[in-house]
Structure 1
Amino acid sequence: MLSKRFLIFGNSGSGKSTLASALAASKGIAHLDLDTLAWLPTTPPQRAPLQDVEGELRNFVQSHSAEESGWVVEGCYSDLLALLSADADHILFLNLPVDACIENAKARPWESHKYASKTAQDANLAMLLTWIGQYTHRGDEFSFSAHQQFYDAFTRRKTMISENMHFDRVLDGLINGCAG
């Protein structure tokens, strides 16, 4: 059986959005970036209540649960990913070195669904690079340790990617059922 329900996670700058967008387009499935649900529109930013996000995630999964449907959800939130783990049939852990994630973040294009402008996105870059650099030292739901625990506990198909690459090879495996 080919996978139709994917969770993609890893450090910021690891390529989650790039891979999820390409996978969604190639398989014709829905794509959800957890950043769009995880935060309240406040300054300073605050996490949305977990029960509110869980309701939105359930609605997303139910609206894409028909036999011919599918979805890919991506983000760095192990607490939110855990809410979907029973529904997913394949997880992908983008476990790139921190230095590669930093370089990717510096080169990332404007994420119009997150920022009003490229200038606004770039104004946040210094903070983001510091946060990316702390990935292996933190113990929160965004950390390497939380991601590794989530990966280890998942009992169905899973793939770990540990180097920057063009995702063509990964997509080919996912589309043809060979990856992981």
Structure 2
Amino acid sequence: MIIGNPGSGKSTLARKLSDLLGIPAYHMDTIFWQPGWVPIKREKLVQETKKLMEKDAWIIDGNYGATMDIRLKEADTIILLHFSTIRCLYGITKRRIQYHNRTRPDLTEGCPEKLDREFFQWVRKFNKRKAPHIYERLANYPDKRQLIFKNRTQLQKFLQKLS
């Protein structure tokens, strides 16, 4: 399970781990967003997430509080990308430029990349408002392998050891 601020590289990491470990990667954004940026209902999100977790092995990236505890209970390894706010703002801006008028691979087709003020502010406030709650949730799972990366250098060293 991979969680963290938008723009931290959760989906990129999921794809890399999938390639390295031979485990399928799934993106919560793909489950949640229907074409045209239409969200699915909470019940459907929970149902679809549970279906994925019935598989023998999985890598799921994304936050989504409605399913976070379900995924935390089932995951054997939890990765938190707790990068600086500026790093994540750079990530979402770069992504917006890279996928201008296109749908990125970890989203449902028909959801072209966008960057609006509301999302920018959400990312800007994530480390102060959301991260503390994530740490509280992680504290409920001391038996799980938890990997917390504070920067890309730490993450790259981890990936080098894996390969």
When the two structures are superposed, what TM-score results if normalisation uses the length of structure 1? 0.73
1-structure distance, mates of 2:19, 2:71: 21
Structure 1 position 50 matched with structure 2 position 42: yes
| SS, match of residue 159 in structure 1 | strand
| SS, match of residue 126 in structure 2 | coil
Structure 1 position 80 matched with structure 2 position 40: no
Distance verdict in 2 for CA 1:38–1:167, change over 3 Å:
same
Q: Where does residue 152 of structure 1 map in the other structure?
A: 139
Cα RMSD after superposing both structures: 2.6
2-structure distance, mates of 1:34, 1:21: 13
Letter of the structure 2 residue corresponding to residue 131 of structure 1 = W
Aligned residues between the structures: 156
Q: Where does residue 29 of structure 2 map in the other structure?
A: 35
1-structure distance, mates of 2:155, 2:116: 24
Task: Map 1:116-131 to 2 at 5 A.
Answer: 120-121=112-113, 123-131=114-122
Q: Where does residue 114 of structure 1 map in the other structure?
A: 107
Distance verdict in 2 for CA 1:41–1:103, change over 3 Å:
same
Task: Map 1:127-142 to 2 at 5 A.
Answer: 127-138=118-129
Q: Which runs of 5+ in 2 are unaligned?
A: none
Q: Where does residue 4 of structure 1 map in the other structure?
A: none
Can you list the C-alpha shifts for 1:117-142, whole angstroms capped at 9, x where unaligned?
Answer: 89x42x4254432221121344xxxx
| SS, match of residue 130 in structure 1 | helix
Distance verdict in 2 for CA 1:115–1:125, change over 3 Å:
farther
- Higher helix proportion (structure 1 or 2): 2
1-structure distance, mates of 2:146, 2:159: 14
1-structure distance, mates of 2:109, 2:60: 23
Give the fraction of aligned pairs with identical amino acids, expressed as a percent: 21
Distance verdict in 2 for CA 1:116–1:38, change over 3 Å:
closer
| SS, match of residue 73 in structure 1 | strand
Q: Where does residue 59 of structure 1 map in the other structure?
A: 51
| SS, match of residue 135 in structure 1 | helix
Q: Where does residue 171 of structure 1 map in the other structure?
A: 159
Letter of the structure 1 residue corresponding to residue 15 of structure 2 = S
User: CA shift at 1:115, angstroms?
Assistant: 6.8
Distance verdict in 2 for CA 1:163–1:50, change over 3 Å:
same
Q: Which runs of 5+ in 1 are unaligned?
A: 1-6
